[in-house]
Structure 1
Amino acid sequence: MPVTPITRRTLLVATAAGATAVAAAGSLPASGSPMPVEAAGSHQPLPDPFTLGIASGDPDYQSVILWTRLALDPLAADGMGGMPSRRYHVQWQVALDPAMRRVVRSGVVSATPESAHAVHVEVRGLLPGREYYYRFRCERHVSEIGRTLTTPLPGTYGSPLDMAFVSCSNYSGGYFTAYRRLAEDHPSLVLHLGDYIYEGAGGTGARAHSPAKEIWTLADYRVRHAQYRTDPDLQAAHAVAPWAVVWDDHELENNYADEIPSPAGQAGFLERRAAAYRAYYEMMPLRRSSIPRGIDMQIYRRIQWGRLASFHMLDTRQYRSDQACNDTTSDCPAALDPARSITGPAQEKWLLDGLGRSSSTWDVIGQQVFFGARDFTAGPAVSYSMDAWDGYVASRQRILDGFRQRHVTNPVVLTGDVHKHYANDLKADFRDPSSRTVGVELVTTSITSGGDGQDFPAGGQLQLDENPHIKLLNNQRGYVKTRITRDTLQADFKVVPYVSTPGAPVSTRASFTVEAGRPGLELT
């Protein structure tokens, strides 16, 4: 399909602290022409700087974000990736074919020391519902070629969507084989639901964390992110499709709540938060709307996949009330306080308003922590996790009531965090198992966190007995692969048997189908 020539601009996010610049793209090269080589300057030529791979993300029907970061020594302790302290020109190309012969967009951006030589390019003027390929060049070095896609034209359904979602990828916990197997599935969209990195010390040998300590400073967070990005399996998953990412807690610190560290009272926590958020932005294919402003960074947003699906991506860390009852697993009366919120009032209103306006067949809520009720105690006594939506009962009930009030017929909540696969029916009232099913929750296990695992966890039967809305519980590593059509959503819970050594095969532990207009899970 020919591309109509239009005026082209690229958007360069010059620093993760908020400075931006716009670089105009030059004339497009002729079809099949090689990427131009930057003229040699007085500085020493670089070795290959594309050690951290490439990525794309946050697609819409006419644009997508392209990302890379230049690094010669990714684990350099100062967080600057071994790069000289100077600006580098980075050329980029987008083509219709994987051989990069039919180039349709190109331009030049700057990689600067202020952003640790990370670049974000907002490529506009693309056609809807198309597959594209892209690459970067710096001096004489050319990156690998990545694949990305635009979303369908608004108001149209497009083709069925193959989407995968993942969570909890602890480098020190094992090998990222599940990322490799995901890439081999060739999805059109990947959602990462949090814990992309882990902040603690940990691991030994080849999978030891760098720095070998709990991270606190901007340099520390840059090094830790860079270490993860050196992993070839993660690089393959990023290169295969655009990603939409949201964080959970470990991108900063375990179980923090808004401006409250865990445990409370730590000196310097807000400075640490600003550093973590800045490094996260630098390393992710996010739009400039997510550039951090001091200690704040907006990552809740929507990705519209034509009329097929609306992806409402949430942030359940940055705005939440502190966990009740000292963040224990308990029967905690404070969890029922209607003033408590896991999203904050502004984001809750944004979500409910968006659900009310949605004309999509599927409304998919991508978020971090367990949404459905999960009682851990046998018999009439109850205990719940205060770090999940169970610790914010009124907040959850407002969302569940919103499904009914706004006539949301096909809500699907996607979740990470708990290092286990779950498949849950969502009930209008979790206190009454016979109440109406109003949606479903699909929970992905971890990529590595928790180690090799096993098929069924200790205490698993108790959870199934006490929570009849839970239809699947599995404690292996893996991801969830979905296929979304106008009529059905199919979810395949993929597992690998081990992560302690590389190269594990993948299998499907269970598959469920949801029919449009009929909330509830059907085992297939």
Structure 2
Amino acid sequence: MTALARPLSRRSVLVAGGLAAGALALPATAHAAPRLRAAAPGDPFTLGVASGDPAPDGFVLWTRLALDPHAEDGLGGMPAKPVQVKWEVAADERFRRIERRGTATARPDAAHSVHVELKGLRHGRDYWYRFRAGNHVSPVGRALTAPRADSFGPALTMAFVSCAQYEHGWFTSYRRLAEDRPDLVLHLGDYQYEYKKGVYNSPGGNIRDHDGPETVTLANYRQRHAQYKADTDLQAAHAAAPWLVVFDDHEVENNWAGYIPEEGSDTPAYEAFRARRAAAFQAYYENMPLRRSSIPHGPDIQIYRRVRWGRLANFHMLDTRQFRDDQGCGDGYKDCPEAADPKRSITGDRQEKWLLDGFRRSTARWDVIGQQVFFAQRDNTAGPVKKTSMDAWDGYAASRDRITEGWVDAGVRNPVVLTGDVHAHWASDLKADYDDPDSATVGSELVCSSISTTGDGADSDPASQPFLKINPHLKFYNNQRGYVLTKIGKGEMKADFRTVASVRTQGSPVSTKATFVIEDRIPGVHQTYLRPYAAPKMAAKPDQNLIDQTIRNETQP
């Protein structure tokens, strides 16, 4: 199943304050991904359903009504009046045992989105949910409550993803992720891209087009989110499990920092950027399963937060865009003195204090930091000059040192950083001093590839990757599209780096390229499986051309 064909126009009939009749969604089977169906005439559930931010007694339910996801005004072809939406939560997937039900109002000023915050459910349980508008019933979604605060619960299957450029490929990885039946999904940013058609092209050419202009207005962002949400592979991943979401740059604009747009603070774009940021955040909230605490206030939104999974794990979800200082030395890979400035921060002071306090208070077996950009040092030159990315934590080295020292001083048992952004799989040890390979390993980083951004990529031999030769704490690299599937238990965290054969072909198979394990109380990543690669090894001397290609792969226009 892939992207929906363009649905009916906004002239689809609405009758008697409700919506015309449509087909009932088939519920998921016990051990398969949710089965989704094409929209019937007049069906407002063309964007699917989602859940998010699980707690021991509940979670958030989401849907957004749209008769025409491609409508230029961003309102989905819906009438300019409220629509009553009923919801149900059941203890079984065929809804024989209804646990909770209620009614919410989908309003035009919120693009007919619905957010339902549930409390009072039983801890550590699977639930199923659906919505009804008029005679139309939504697809069925699966949600889970977290374990009780004093309980570990069973091992947690968690997947994390990032970077889904609609034009560059099919969202097959989302479909395969749903089929893996995770209990929790983390999206680490670049859920959608802001470019108009033909501006950001993959190496093999784009396979489909963005609707509308570059996203600047609220209507633009609403239309773009709806176009992405209408893809049924993405819908399947949302329906499979609750999500924890944070944004990176492309949900607003490439490489923005705080109130500074990509063009910089001394340009006409600077004066208009607050309005653009406000529009982007409003549309982001409307289209994500977020709690009321994340309702935007103009150009500001509260997105960093902590979600506890019993005694097993704390998920510290960060915001590395909204409060950062501008990228140093004009951005890019640079030998930049500003990178070491102790006054510079990627999180801002308030968020940094919140995170360090969370480390000090933690009693979890695993402290998982879900965030957007590369955390470990990545020097791209073999000589004495250090060139690193100013857009990543390398550009805010003192900020990284404070966070790392914070979890060490707090005695965090197992710190693990999860990262997106760079369109390739990576795994690395986190060091007390990256310039001394013999310094203590104090944590672990797992980086997921893109869902589709930059097209297919190619299989690669980690032993031949020059970044790994220059930076011995980097242990793995692969340039195919996919996601990371983890199993978090009391004794270890296992990570499977999953890759799809192609994003240019619909329905490609998925396989595991490599498996790494992080053992309890033993910081650092340990490879336990690597799918063979038949290409010859590179010479011992690092190839700067391959480094440059890797950088191009993760750099936006």
Query: Which residue in the other structure is 1:335 paired with?
Result: 339
Amino acid at match of 1:177: T
Query: Which residue in the other structure is 2:243 paired with?
Result: 243
Change (3 A) 1:262 1:205: closer
Q: Distance in 2 between matches of 1:58 and 1:407?
A: 26
More moved, 116-125 vs 198-207: 198-207
Change (3 A) 1:457 1:341: farther
Give the secondary structure class of the aligned counterpart of 1:392. Answer: helix
Q: Which ranges of structure 1 fall in alignment gaps of 5 or more residues?
A: 1-38
Deviation by residue 1:113-166 (Cα, 9 ceiling, x = unmatched): 010100000111100000000000000000011100000000100010000000
Deviation by residue 1:148-200 (Cα, 9 ceiling, x = unmatched): 00000001000100000000001011000000000000000000000000001
Give the secondary structure class of the aligned counterpart of 1:58. Answer: strand
One of 37, 40, 45 as aligned partner of 1:50: 45
Amino acid at match of 2:211: S
Deviation by residue 1:310-348 (Cα, 9 ceiling, x = unmatched): 000000000000000011211101110000000000000
Give the secondary structure class of the aligned counterpart of 2:435. Answer: coil
Do the aligned partners of 1:377 and 1:462 also contact (CA within 8 Å) in 2? no
One of 122, 145, 154 as aligned partner of 2:149: 154
Query: Which residue in the other structure is 1:87 paired with?
Result: 82
More moved, 439-448 vs 327-336: 327-336
Q: Does 1:412 align with 2:416?
A: yes
Amino acid at match of 1:256: W
Do the aligned partners of 2:156 and 2:487 also contact (CA within 8 Å) in 1? yes
Q: Does 1:294 align with 2:289?
A: no
TM-score by length of 1: 0.91
Q: Does 1:313 align with 2:355?
A: no
Q: Distance in 1 between matches of 2:515 and 2:107?
A: 46
Deviation by residue 1:58-106 (Cα, 9 ceiling, x = unmatched): 0000010000000001111011100011111000000000001100100
Query: Which residue in the other structure is 1:497 paired with?
Result: 501
**CA apart distance, 1:434:** 0.6
Amino acid at match of 1:199: E
Change (3 A) 1:301 1:381: same
Change (3 A) 1:347 1:457: farther
Corresponding pairs, count = 485
Give the secondary structure class of the aligned counterpart of 2:55. Answer: coil
Query: Which residue in the other structure is 1:273 paired with?
Result: 277
Matches for 1:31-430 after TM superposition, within 5 Å: 41=16, 45=20, 47-202=42-197, 207-211=208-212, 213-264=213-264, 265=267, 266=269, 267-430=271-434
**CA apart distance, 1:506:** 0.4
Q: Distance in 1 between matches of 2:488 and 2:125?
A: 17
Do the aligned partners of 2:257 and 2:326 also contact (CA within 8 Å) in 1? yes
**CA apart distance, 1:41:** 2.7
**CA apart distance, 1:456:** 2.4
Amino acid at match of 2:417: V
Give the secondary structure class of the aligned counterpart of 2:54. Answer: coil
Do the aligned partners of 2:50 and 2:61 also contact (CA within 8 Å) in 1? yes
Do the aligned partners of 2:20 and 2:43 also contact (CA within 8 Å) in 1? no
Q: Distance in 2 between matches of 1:505 and 1:447?
A: 14
Q: Distance in 2 between matches of 1:237 and 1:458?
A: 29
Change (3 A) 1:332 1:70: same
Query: Which residue in the other structure is 1:7 paired with?
Result: none
Q: Distance in 2 between matches of 1:496 and 1:389?
A: 28
**CA apart distance, 1:489:** 0.3
Deviation by residue 1:345-388 (Cα, 9 ceiling, x = unmatched): 00000000001100000000000000000001122222000000
TM-score by length of 2: 0.85
Do the aligned partners of 2:46 and 2:230 also contact (CA within 8 Å) in 1? yes
Deviation by residue 1:472-504 (Cα, 9 ceiling, x = unmatched): 011000000000000000000000121012111
Q: Distance in 1 between matches of 2:207 and 2:135?
A: 31
Query: Which residue in the other structure is 1:14 paired with?
Result: none
Q: Does 1:510 align with 2:514?
A: yes
Amino acid at match of 1:189: L
The Cα RMSD (Å) is 1.5
Matches for 1:446-465 after TM superposition, within 5 Å: 446-456=450-460, 461-465=465-469
What is the identity percentage for the equivalent residue pairs of Structure 1 and Structure 2? 59
**CA apart distance, 1:44:** 7.2
Q: Distance in 2 between matches of 1:289 and 1:377?
A: 44
Query: Which residue in the other structure is 1:10 paired with?
Result: none
Change (3 A) 1:416 1:42: closer
Q: Distance in 1 between matches of 2:88 and 2:464?
A: 50
**CA apart distance, 1:45:** 3.9
Q: Distance in 2 between matches of 1:349 and 1:255?
A: 24
Amino acid at match of 1:207: R
**CA apart distance, 1:459:** 12
**CA apart distance, 1:43:** 6.9
Amino acid at match of 2:162: S
Q: Distance in 2 between matches of 1:474 and 1:281?
A: 33
Q: Which ranges of structure 2 fall in alignment gaps of 5 or more residues?
A: 1-13, 22-41, 199-204, 529-557
